[in-house]
Amino acid sequence: MAIRKIRIDGDPILRKRSRALESITDRERELFDDMIETMHDADGIGLAAPQVGILKRMIVIDIGEGPMKVANPVLRDYEGEEILYEGCLSIPKFSGAVKRPHALTVDYMDENGEEKTMHATGLLARVFCHETDHLDGILFKDVTLREDQIPEEVREQHERELQGE
In angstroms, the CA 152 to CA 109 distance is 39
- The tens digit of pLDDT for each residue in 135-144 reads 999 999 999 9
At residue 57's C-alpha, the angle toward residues 54 and 62, to 5°, is 90
- The tens digit of pLDDT for each residue in 40-56 reads 999 999 999 999 999 99
Which residues, other chains included, contact 53 with Cβ-Cβ below 8 Å and sequence gap of 6+? Answer: 4, 5, 7, 13
In angstroms, the CA 128 to CA 78 distance is 12
In angstroms, the CA 47 to CA 130 distance is 9
**pLDDT bracket for residue 163 (50, 70, 90):** confident
From the candidates 37, 111, 115, 131, give the one annotated as an active-site residue. Answer: 131
Query: Is 111 tagged catalytic?
Result: no
